[in-house]
Structures are given as structure tokens and as C-alpha cells.
Structure 1
Amino acid sequence: MTNWQGRRVAVVGLGTSNLAVIRYLLQRGAQVEGRDQKNLAELGDVGAELARLPVKLRLGPGYLEGLTEYDAVFVTPGISRHKPELVELKTSGVPILSEIGVVLEECRATVLGITGTSGKTTTTTLVGKIMEAAGRQTFVGGNIGQPLIEVAASIPPEAMVVLELSSFQLEMLDRSPQGALVTNVTPNHLDMHADMAEYVAAKERIFRFQGPRDVAVFNLDNEYTRKMAEEAPSRRLWFSLEEEPGAGAWLAGEAIYWRGRENQGAEKVVQREEILLPGMHNVANVAAACALTGAFGAPVSAMAQVARTFRGVPHRLQVVGEGTVRGKANVTFINDSIATTPSRTVAAIRAMTRPTVLLLGGYDKHLPFDELAEELMQPESPVTAVVLLGATAEKIGAAMAAAKERGGRALERARPLQVLRAASFAQAVQMAAEVVPPGGVVLLSPACASYDMFRNFEERAHVFEQLAQELLREGA
């Protein structure tokens, strides 16, 4: 455990997790300077708490200058490591640390880490709930929940810690959790990572430093994760919706099964129809959670209990309103604002069973939209209209036109797909309300981040719900 007494430490990026880092360092006698590109007022509640702490602040332009003068630097996930000041810091020999790195160093409990392009939060929550149902004291953190750095050393060895880990958190780690799970990998964050290879390499760090007694779970149905598994130094398990692995969890017929090791008998976990979460992607999330928790002693009864009762987390195919809109009855508004990649939106579309108007577009993360465009062009697609908005509207529209041209007559629909363009988010919701059919769905699943219009995907979701409720009140 590091002795922080009297050491000069810079903390870069003053969000919730690094506020906990600052408190942790102050409690251990460090001299701390907090740094952020925002000013104190823009930091909101975090800024108000910082003003009450004995910490120096360097805010606004120049917040990355002079970092090589410190004994250690904590950098928040999500700041590009390619910034010149951080490149210089990396070559200077000054330790670059993170909240998760300290948690892994100090925690005596077993740690399970979950990463992937899609499904991280849902799967992490499922894993935590299954371990709780199995009778284990469980702490959930990382990219969700509360920062654990202030309590990591006091968590008892017999407890279980479950962490959702992003590529930004992983690329700073030099150790791996005892249990690792990769839900899937598709292109993402290519505005922050140099290329796809760098993004994949960051994800691989969740298992890269494991030993032979540790466990790594991979998606057998995903090309990237199958290849990743070849590099795992630990015991490998799988989950799949398409085939039966030697060890892990899989869908066979209409049920999920689990087996801990090859040549063991399989145990039925749950019927697919009993899973409350909508969509086949969530069946995969349940199978993934079963594979990881089963490897760490959770009984099938605990897996089944959670699968039959868990209704999901906010902003993931969440119904936020139902009623009459513009004279059309039984219209449902669904918030899937967490869908910041095309692959997540494809999964959302496949979960729809009613005519759907899709709100699509936002901040450009330099991701390809080809697969999503082809999904929208399919004759059997439930999407009857698309409302394009944000910085990527033209890019998505071009991808859709190219997909239609490639498919030719094979992609002709009985009812042509209506494509609209909105100048604002509010206008997009109004347009969707105009064209949604009775009994239809207005689906916010943008396939893009929100930063061109909102602070984050949560704010986008909140505004969507507000606008939906206003429309429903007008129609009541």
C-alpha cells in the first residue's frame, strides 16, 4: 500500500470518481492539487465540495501544464492519452494512476471485472445481484455505482467486488481482476483511441495480467472476443446464443444452461420467456452473468432468481410513457439513450415487436454506420420512420442510401422507410409524434454520443422523457 504522507499529487479531471480520489489522498496526508478545464462554477456540486476541502485548484486553460513536477498524477478516464502534455508525462517516469488501480491494489476481496462495447452496465448489475442472491456481501463500482477507493481496504476478504470497466479505465491498469468478462467488442470511441487496435488492446487488459487460477469469460459469438481469448493466461469460459461451449453458459432451444467445466453435466438455469429484460441482447447478458458468477460459486438457483425478477437499469430500453399522442392511441415512448454505438441500436431495433419510429444521430465518435444502415433497410425491420438529428445526421443518411443501393430490389419494403431530418432534439421528438402509427413506439436509440447537444446521455434521456410526457399530457 502506497504511503502518501507529504507527497505532491495532481488529480486531473474533477468528476465524482476523482473527488473520491482527492478525499482519499487528503485523508492519507498528501498535498493535492485538483485540475480541470472547467471553472469552479461549471463544476457544479463537485466544485462546491472542492471549495470546502484543503486542496489547491488549477482550472481552465493550462490545466495540463507542469504535471511532470509532481510525485504522482491521477488522471480521470476519458481524457485522451494522446494530448501532448500526457504523452510527456508518460515518458517522464511520473506514476500515472487511477481510482480503479488503487482499488485493485488495496482490495482483499475477490474482484470481478466486466467490460465490452455493449451490455457492460446491465451485465455488471446482473452479476452483482446474482452474487447477492448467492449470499455474498457484494460491492458494485467502477463505471457505475459509488467510487470504492475510500472503502476498498476495509472490504472484508470474503466479500465480492464487481466493477464495470471502460476501455479508458482499463488502459491505465497494470493488474487485472481475478474474474474478467468481455461482453462483446465492436468499434467504439475511435474519436479517443488512435485506432481499433488500440481500443481492443485496452479491453484486453482486463485479463492480460491474470494468472492460471483466475477466470476469464468471453463471448463465443463475437469475432473480436474469440480472438482475445487466445491470449488469456487464465481459465477460459464462454457464453453463447449460437452454440454450446465446453464450459460456461449458453442458450439451447428456449432455455439457458450452465456448466462449470468440460465433461460436467449441464444445469438448466431459466427459460428464455421467463427473462424480464427485453431483446436477445439481454438474453446474452444473462448468459454472460451466469457464466461469470457460476465460475465463482453462485448456484443456479441464484442465477434463475435474478433472471426472473430483474427489470433492467435506467436508459436501457426503458419505457418512459404510454398513451394517446396526436389522436393516436397506445403509443409508447422508449428511452435507450445509452445506445451510443451503432451495434447497441441494432440490438434495440431487434428487440422491437411493434411499428417503431427511431430517433437517430448525435455526436460523431468516428464509427461506421454500415451495419446499422443495412439493418434499417431490411424488409422485415419494425422501423417505419427514422428521424435524423445532430452532427451525424448526414453521415447516417448517406450510409442508409448506400445500403439501399447495395441491396437493390432485395431490400424493397412493402411500406417505404420514411426518413426525416430535424434541426433540434425537441423538433425530432415532435416529428416522431407526427408519424408514429397508433399502437407504435417512439424509440430514442441514437447510435451516437450526446455531446453535440447535451452534457451526457442521461441528460438526453431526461429531456426525451420530459418531451414525451408533454405530448402525452396534450393527448390525454
Structure 2
Amino acid sequence: MSYNYFGKKILILGLGLTGISCINFFLKKGIKPRAIDECKKPNFLDKIPKDIEYRLGKLEKDWILESDLIVISPGISSFKSILIKARSLGIHIISDIELFSRETKCPIISITGTNGKSTVATMVKKIAEKSGYKVFLGGNIGFPVLEMLNQKANLYILELSSFQLETTFSLKSKIAVVLNITEDHLDRYPEGFEQYKKIKLSIYNQAEICLIKLKKGGKKPFDTQFKKYISFGICQNNNYHINYEKEKAILYCKNKKVLDTSNMFLNGYHNYENALISLAISDAMKFNREIAINTLKQFSGLPHRFQTVHINNNISWINDSKSTNVDSTKVALQNLNIKGTIWLLLGGDGKSSNFNILKEYFEKLKIKIYCFGKDGLSLSKLCKKKSVYVETLKQAIILISKKIQPGDVVLLSPGCSSKDQFSNFEERGNLFIELSKEMN
């Protein structure tokens, strides 16, 4: 379908990198949009092209309600009351992903999930590149997607958050996958978890091949119709599954052994499943199986994802700053098997999530929990006997450094957004790395 934007009043909401890319997209079409950012001093103000009219500090009601099309950045909720009103008046509100989907004819691999998106997307990108594809990765990682339209490519990989999927309607993926769905961003969605889940599952709409995780007994985890699907998981009835043999996790395709995970750099069930899904995508794309296996063996992980960043005096410091939800912290704790004490750094903006599922782990483990940030005080009440509340991550690390012993592990797996005290999870993780090397 061809879209005509001429003569339309187009408004860009958000002046981060995504918003700037949207402005440039329309300028190349000879269309001059207007723009708004809720921040009074957005970071990329100097990148706004000349002659673009913009307003800062708040969402201007008049500009919003007189628009024909609004392109919204993922950091701005499409459920704000003024935007709900705009939709009721027939004003179209879309994402940059929607603009991208309308423009490209290249095959797209779309990946979403609460956890593991970046790892799977990067694994698949490396396999595709080694298979001879000119591939670009964007969305929630890498390039703003509209910038990828300027690149010569024969494959795109999109890592997509629920924020981006909220306002995406024309995405037609060659392959789409939902890795997992657990509670996250409940402060964003008025209808709670079911609304978040529904938005995640929308990635399957119009997809040619859907990768889905079957429940025990081969049951689909949700009521969705598929043209064609490939299943994955731990159960043998899946097309791709994981089986444990002599305490080794083995990846299988249609009951044929494909990869012994003891030959991989990465460990932990979540990483084995990431590799399994990457293998399934690779096979569906008809990439060379040997190239795929060798790439998965050599993949050493991404920064800030359960990454051992410092070892001294038999004390390990693990940076899992990308843990921005409860389930990711649970997974991190499950992957630790030590005799010493776990010193867990937990805290930030909990996004209205239910942290009670961690209580059973806290009670069973030899653990001390240092809670910090916006929701640190309430988190410290989960397991009062083992918890300490402090205001900042740095204060917590200073206190921990005075008590740790050989054989212990210091784990930054906050289970929360970093935005209360940091620009992003990378800044939080980098501070942890810096302090870990200073303290011992």
C-alpha cells in the first residue's frame, strides 16, 4: 500500500534519536513536520534540522488535536489522556516502526519478549552476516529503524518492545517470535498484564512464520491463529527443544541432537533457550546450519547481561544491569550455585511490578540484599532479616565491600528500571564495573 503524507499536518512526539530520525524521514519526502518534547532540554536538541518548528516542556494540546498524523517515540505512552482523545477524533498515532514497515520490502525478522530480545537479535544477526547477508539490526537496539532505510540491505532484524508495538499496525514479518512474557511495565498499561501481553502478541499479526513456545502437552500459550508456526521449548513435543543428559543441556531439532551447550561460552538455561530460538530462526531462514552452530558456540554475550566483570580474592562481581524486571532477577539467582554469600543489589523504579515471587528465593538462599533507588525501601521489606535499604547504588557497594569474603558473589541484578537515578541501564552497569574494581 502506498501512503501519501502530503498536505497532512504531521507531528513528531519526542526528540530523542527516534524523533530526529522521524523528522529526517519526512524532510526527505519534502514534508516539514512539527515536533514536541516533554523535556525542557532534550539531549539531542542540536540535531533538530533548521526550520523545524518545535515546542518543549509539555504536550501541547492544540498542536496534538489539530494534527492529522502523530508519530510517537516509544518513551511516550500512547495511553496518555490527550492521545486517547486524539484517537477518538480520528487522528492516527503511529510509531517509527510503522513508518518503516510501510516503506521496506526487505524480509524482516521481528523479535520481542520481556527478556532476552537483544541477545537473540544479536545472535541471529551474527549468523546472518556469516551466512553472507547484508543485515541491519534496529528498533529497541542498534539503529533507529528509519535510518536503516538508507542502507543497502537484504535482511532486517527488529528488536521490538511493547512500547513500539503499541502503535505498529503494518508490520509483515518473514519470521516473528515472542521469547517470553512475564510481568513488566505495568505502570504503563491501564488494563495491566493482559494488555501488555496482548500488545506483545501483536507481533504475530501478518507474520509469515511464527515461532511460539508450546506449553506441556503441546498446548498453545494463547488463543492466536497462525498461518504457519514452529514451536520451541523444554518439552520434546516442540520442533526445537532442550533436553538434559548427564546434567548437560542439549539442543534438539525434531528429536535430533544439534548442539551440546557445554561447548558454548554462555551458560544458564535462559541462554540455552536463546540459542535454541536463534537456531530455529536460522533454520527457518535456511542459513547454513554449521555456520549457525559455530556462531552460537563462539558467542560470548552482551554487556550488562549476567556478565562477570571483576574477580579478585575469589570474589566475583557480576553485572546484570540489564535486569529491569522481576523475572530477570529470578533467572539470575537461579543461575548462581555457590557456597558463599550472594550480595544482591536490587532497586530502582519497580514499574508497579509484583516482587513477591522473589521471596521464596531469598528465604532459601544464603543472601544479603541491598535495596536502593526509588522503590528500594519497599523492596527491603520483602525479606526484612536479610535486607538493607540505602539511597544509592554506590552507598550499597561501599557497605558490601566491607563485609564480603572469598567465595562470595556481588550481583547487580536490580529487577527495576534505572531511570530514577541513571540515564539508562548501561550507565548503571558501568558505575557498578567502576566501583567493583575500586573496592578490592
Q: Aligned ranges for residues 251-290 of structure 1 at < 5 Å?
A: 251-253=243-245, 254-259=248-253, 266-290=255-279
Q: Is the 8 A contact 1:269 1:300 kept in 2?
A: no
For residues 321 and 29 of structure 2, what CA distance do their matches in structure 1 show? 39
Q: SS state of the match for residue 146, structure 2?
A: coil
1:125–1:232 Cα change, 3 Å: farther
Q: SS state of the match for residue 31, structure 1?
A: coil
Corresponding position of 1:262: none
Q: Deviations over 1:409-436 (max 9, x none)?
A: xxxxxxxx74222232211111221222
1:66–1:34 Cα change, 3 Å: closer
Corresponding position of 1:410: none
Corresponding position of 2:320: 336
Q: SS state of the match for residue 5, structure 2?
A: coil
Q: Deviations over 1:29-72 (max 9, x none)?
A: 11211210112xx322x11111x433111101344543121231
Q: Is the 8 A contact 1:34 1:57 kept in 2?
A: yes
Corresponding position of 1:245: 237
Gaps (5+ residues) in structure 2?
A: none
Q: Is the 8 A contact 1:322 1:332 kept in 2?
A: yes
Corresponding position of 2:42: 43
Corresponding position of 2:86: 89
1:250–1:136 Cα change, 3 Å: farther
Residue 160, structure 1, aligned to residue 155, structure 2: yes
Q: Deviations over 1:67-104 (max 9, x none)?
A: 12123110011322221110111112122121111222
1:222–1:243 Cα change, 3 Å: closer
Residue 53, structure 1, aligned to residue 68, structure 2: no
Residue 468, structure 1, aligned to residue 436, structure 2: yes
Residue 68, structure 1, aligned to residue 57, structure 2: no
Q: SS state of the match for residue 150, structure 1?
A: helix
Corresponding position of 1:421: 389
Q: SS state of the match for residue 149, structure 1?
A: helix
Measured after TM superposition, the shift of residue 455 of structure 1 is: 2.3
Q: Deviations over 1:4-46 (max 9, x none)?
A: 345431100111122111111111111211210112xx322x1
Measured after TM superposition, the shift of residue 246 of structure 1 is: 4.1
Match of 2:329 among 340, 345, 350: 345
Q: SS state of the match for residue 74, structure 1?
A: strand
Length, aligned pairs only: 432
For residues 226 and 348 of structure 1, what CA distance do their matches in structure 2 show? 27
For residues 168 and 150 of structure 1, what CA distance do their matches in structure 2 show? 19
Root-mean-square deviation over aligned CA pairs: 2.2
- Percent identity, aligned pairs only? 29
For residues 357 and 346 of structure 2, what CA distance do their matches in structure 1 show? 14
Match of 1:385 among 368, 372, 375: 368
Corresponding position of 1:368: 354
Residue 299, structure 1, aligned to residue 253, structure 2: no
Corresponding position of 2:299: 310
Q: Deviations over 1:194-229 (max 9, x none)?
A: 21111011001100233xxx1111223599x9422x
Measured after TM superposition, the shift of residue 333 of structure 1 is: 1.8
Counterpart residue type for residue 171 of structure 1? E
Q: Aligned ranges for residues 101-250 of structure 1 at < 5 Å?
A: 101-152=98-149, 155-156=152-153, 159-176=154-171, 177-194=173-190, 195-210=192-207, 214-220=208-214, 226-228=220-222, 230-240=223-233, 242-250=234-242
Corresponding position of 2:402: 434
For residues 84 and 425 of structure 1, what CA distance do their matches in structure 2 show? 35
Q: SS state of the match for residue 282, structure 1?
A: helix
For residues 31 and 179 of structure 2, what CA distance do their matches in structure 1 show? 38
Counterpart residue type for residue 47 of structure 2? E
Gaps (5+ residues) in structure 1?
A: 260-264, 324-328, 402-416
TM-score for the superposition, normalised by structure 2 = 0.92
For residues 372 and 222 of structure 1, what CA distance do their matches in structure 2 show? 24
Q: Is the 8 A contact 1:21 1:99 kept in 2?
A: yes
Q: Is the 8 A contact 2:250 2:261 kept in 1?
A: yes
Measured after TM superposition, the shift of residue 255 of structure 1 is: 4.7
Q: SS state of the match for residue 21, structure 1?
A: helix
Measured after TM superposition, the shift of residue 306 of structure 1 is: 1.6
Measured after TM superposition, the shift of residue 252 of structure 1 is: 4.8
1:205–1:153 Cα change, 3 Å: farther
